[in-house]
């Protein structure tokens, strides 16, 4: 599943939202703030099913490209 993932400059997860693969045309959504970056990543189903926020954040971190 594609998700928009926002991380801060330390690479920590700030927000994540299901996406259709693009940032345009969403009815409502998330936006990166100062010192944050938005990335569109393909998230495996096993990560989507994680119930613990800390486990989800840890797995997402490895999927976000380093800039």
The predicted structure's pLDDT at residue 21: 57
- Tell me which H or E stretch contains 6: strand 2-8
Q: Residue ranges per domain, the chain?
A: 2-61
pTM recorded for the entire structure: 0.79
Strand order in the sheet with 2-8: 13-18, 2-8, 36-42
The predicted structure's pLDDT at residue 52: 94
- pLDDT for 15-46, tens place per residue? 999 876 555 655 677 889 999 999 999 999 99
């Amino acid at each position: 599943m594609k998700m928009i993932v926002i991380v801060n400059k330390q690479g920590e997860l700030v927000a994540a939202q299901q996406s259709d693969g693009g940032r345009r045309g969403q009815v409502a959504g998330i936006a990166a703030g100062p010192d944050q970056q938005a990335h569109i990543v393909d998230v495996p189903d096993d990560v989507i099913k994680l119930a613990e926020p800390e486990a989800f954040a840890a797995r997402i971190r490895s999927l976000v490209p380093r800039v």
